[in-house]
Amino acid sequence: MAETSSQSQNGFWISELNRRPEVRKEFAQRRAVKFYDTTLRDGEQSVGVVFTPSQKLEIARALDELGVGRIEAGFPRVSAEDAEAFKLIASAGLKAEIWGFGRALRADIDELLRLGSRATVIETPTSAIKLKAYGLSVDEAKRRAAEAITYAREHGVKVAFFTVDGTRTELETLCAFYKNALDAGAEELVVVDTIGACGPEAVEFLVRQVREWIGPQVPLQFHGHNDFGMATACAVAAVRAGAEWIQGTINGMGERAGNGDIGEIAMALQGLYAVPVELNLKRIRNVSALVQQTARHPLEPWKPVVGENLFLRESGAVASQFHIPEAIEPFSADLVGAKREIVLGKKSGIDSIAIKAKELGITLTAEQQQAILAAVKSAGVEKRGLLTDAEFQFIAHRVQSLA
């Protein structure tokens, strides 16, 4: 009972099975996990999404308030608009580190230098299939990476080396790419699951393997995609193996099935594994809504952490338990700045009517509640949706007037 009470106090009501010694796997480190947001670059690669420079600045400010440690402000060489956005964000005085993104090309680095970038990801393809697609040999790709990294470092730019399709790269080749990058001056490495081709066990193995290759001092990031619906699990696995930074996007935006969703990942780490995170989850739904609105891409209402349905209850059977949140929810709405609410429709029950009437300051007899419930169910079927508060009030006043 003491453990249940403790969980109630911190707002998570998870299964005790998570804490069983035969289930629990130790994490390589328990320092707070930090987040590198790539909504403004990889997220904008979602089909049909275009952010203006001013919109990117607004999103960057929101990410900063969310507590994101690093904001990837874009890929400036790609377009004049990206360069303008990068300049706006870099000069906005945000607390977060502002990072750029570039290929292993001097021209990409020159554009970042022109804009005053102090930190950047530098990418190169590493898998056999990607190298073939780009018409590169392993040696040529390594040479380009080393030259670009050295050039950036000579100009005072911090570099994280990003291996495109790293999870489908032969291990010996991947090791050679990473060591080549470190020799050239890269200060951090990114383990990259470009097309979401790994399960969490494979990600954990690979991150541990990279850590063995490079030792304990080099910071590791993880970048994953969600093609098999495993991006959150893979990010947790990467942290378990020792990744300090997780790259991801708001709402999981990105190419194909999207990137890892930083809100989802943070909630899973904190709630299920008691791993601290550097993110103010009370703001996650506000930031999610801003990005939805700006991208003009609505989310499924049942999406974890930020979905609009998470704390709405229509079912009468569930409404009867509404006064005990832990009976029907795994974590408190307060943790993510959400409001719990009863909504009315076809599936409502008598408790739904009582709760909604009290919320709206309407006093009803037991007989009136029954009559209103029948009318609400009928209206929900006819409307094929939920009733508004105004529609409920109209029904309630009509039933009261007949008394």
User: What pLDDT, on a 0 to 100 scale, did the predictor assign at position 403?
Assistant: 67
With respect to residue 328, please indicate whether it lies within any of the assigned structural domains: yes
- Are residue 246 and residue 394 in the same domain, yes or no? no
Compute the distance between CA of residue 168 and CA of residue 127 in angstroms, rounded to an integer: 6
Compute the distance between CA of residue 175 and CA of residue 163 in angstroms, rounded to an integer: 11
Find the Cα–Cα–Cα–Cα dihedral 273, 264, 72, 164, rounded to 10°. 80
User: What pLDDT, on a 0 to 100 scale, did the predictor assign at position 7?
Assistant: 46
User: What pLDDT, on a 0 to 100 scale, did the predictor assign at position 22?
Assistant: 92
- Are residue 350 and residue 379 in the same domain, yes or no? yes
Query: What single string gives the DSSP state of each residue in 33-60?
Result: BEEEE-TTTTGGGSTT----HHHHHHHH
- Are residue 280 and residue 347 in the same domain, yes or no? no
- Are residue 358 and residue 260 in the same domain, yes or no? no
Give the CA count within 13 Å in the CB-facing half-sphere of 76.
Answer: 28
Compute the distance between CA of residue 36 and CA of residue 70 in angstroms, rounded to an integer: 5
- Are residue 219 and residue 330 in the same domain, yes or no? no
With respect to residue 105, please indicate whether it lies within any of the assigned structural domains: yes
Q: Is the pLDDT confidence value at 3 over 80? A: no
Give φ, ψ of 101 to 5 degrees. -140, 135
User: What pLDDT, on a 0 to 100 scale, did the predictor assign at position 402?
Assistant: 86
User: What pLDDT, on a 0 to 100 scale, did the predictor assign at position 29?
Assistant: 79
With respect to residue 23, please indicate whether it lies within any of the assigned structural domains: no
User: What pLDDT, on a 0 to 100 scale, did the predictor assign at position 219?
Assistant: 97
User: What pLDDT, on a 0 to 100 scale, did the predictor assign at position 393?
Assistant: 96
Of 17-26, 69-78, 374-383, minimum mean pLDDT range = 17-26
Q: Looking at 215-343, list the stretches that DSSP marks H as alpha helix, in order from N- to C-terminal side.
A: 231-241, 262-273, 284-295, 316-319, 325-328
Q: Is the pLDDT confidence value at 67 over 50? A: yes
Compute the distance between CA of residue 155 and CA of residue 174 in angstroms, rounded to an integer: 27
Sort strands 188-193 and 245-248 into parallel, antiparallel or unpaired: unpaired
CB 273 within 8 A of CB 311: no
Q: Which domain holds residue 253?
A: 29-295
Whole-angstrom Cα Rg for the chain? 25
Across the range 391-397, mean pLDDT stands at 95
With respect to residue 5, please indicate whether it lies within any of the assigned structural domains: no
Distances (CA, A) of 37 to 5, 53, 251, 253, 329: 35, 17, 11, 11, 28
User: What pLDDT, on a 0 to 100 scale, did the predictor assign at position 9?
Assistant: 54
With H, G, I as helix, E, B as strand and everything else as coil, classify residue 192: strand
Asked which of 248, 268, 295 is the last residue of a domain, the reply is 295
- Are residue 229 and residue 262 in the same domain, yes or no? yes
Give percent above pLDDT 70 in the chain.
98
With respect to residue 154, please indicate whether it lies within any of the assigned structural domains: yes
Residue 363: which residues within 8 A CB-CB, separation 6 or more? 357
**Which phi-psi region, left, alpha or beta, contains residue 46 (left: φ > 0; alpha: ψ -120 to 50)?**
beta
With H, G, I as helix, E, B as strand and everything else as coil, classify residue 161: strand
35-49 pLDDT tens trace: 999 999 999 999 999
CB 145 within 8 A of CB 177: yes
Owner of token pair 């709402």: 251
User: What pLDDT, on a 0 to 100 scale, did the predictor assign at position 344?
Assistant: 96
Q: Long-range CB contacts (< 8 A, 24+ apart) of 23-32?
A: 25/240, 26/240, 27/239, 27/240, 27/273, 27/275, 28/208, 28/211, 28/240, 28/241, 28/242, 29/242, 29/244, 30/275, 30/276, 31/244, 31/276, 32/275, 32/276, 32/277, 32/278
Across the range 354-371, mean pLDDT stands at 95
CB 219 within 8 A of CB 191: no
Of the pLDDT bands very low, low, confident and very high (cuts 50, 70, 90), residue 10 is confident
Give φ, ψ of 164 to 5 degrees. -65, 125
- Are residue 36 and residue 106 in the same domain, yes or no? yes
Count the residues in the chain. 403
- Are residue 283 and residue 322 in the same domain, yes or no? no
CB 66 within 8 A of CB 35: no
Token pair recorded at residue 391: 């529609």
With respect to residue 9, please indicate whether it lies within any of the assigned structural domains: no
Of the pLDDT bands very low, low, confident and very high (cuts 50, 70, 90), residue 2 is very low
118-166 pLDDT tens trace: 999 999 999 999 999 999 999 999 999 999 999 999 999 999 999 999 9
- Are residue 257 and residue 112 in the same domain, yes or no? yes
Q: Is the pLDDT confidence value at 242 over 80? A: yes
Across the range 348-374, mean pLDDT stands at 95
User: What pLDDT, on a 0 to 100 scale, did the predictor assign at position 4?
Assistant: 44
Across the range 334-344, mean pLDDT stands at 96
Asked which of 295, 321, 337 is the last residue of a domain, the reply is 295
Compute the distance between CA of residue 179 and CA of residue 353 in angstroms, rounded to an integer: 65
Q: Into how many domains does the chain fold?
A: 2
- Are residue 364 and residue 260 in the same domain, yes or no? no
- Give which of 361, 318, 369 is closest to 340, Cα–Cα: 318
CA 383 to chain CA mean position, Å:
34
With H, G, I as helix, E, B as strand and everything else as coil, classify residue 272: helix
Query: What single string gives the DSSP state of each residue in 253-268?
Result: -SSTT-B-BHHHHHHH
- Are residue 153 and residue 38 in the same domain, yes or no? yes
Of 5-14, 204-213, 306-315, 357-366, minimum mean pLDDT range = 5-14
CA angle 109–112–114, rounded 5-degree value: 110
- Give which of 315, 288, 319, 290 is closest to 304, Cα–Cα: 288
CA 388 to chain CA mean position, Å:
31
77-95 pLDDT tens trace: 999 999 999 999 999 999 9
Asked which of 295, 320, 337 is the last residue of a domain, the reply is 295
Q: Is the pLDDT confidence value at 5 over 70? A: no
| CATH code for the domain in which residue 280 is found | 3.20.20.70
CA angle 96–91–47, rounded 5-degree value: 70
- Are residue 226 and residue 351 in the same domain, yes or no? no
With respect to residue 21, please indicate whether it lies within any of the assigned structural domains: no
278-327 pLDDT tens trace: 999 999 999 999 999 999 999 999 999 999 999 999 999 999 999 999 99
With respect to residue 112, please indicate whether it lies within any of the assigned structural domains: yes
CB 86 within 8 A of CB 74: yes
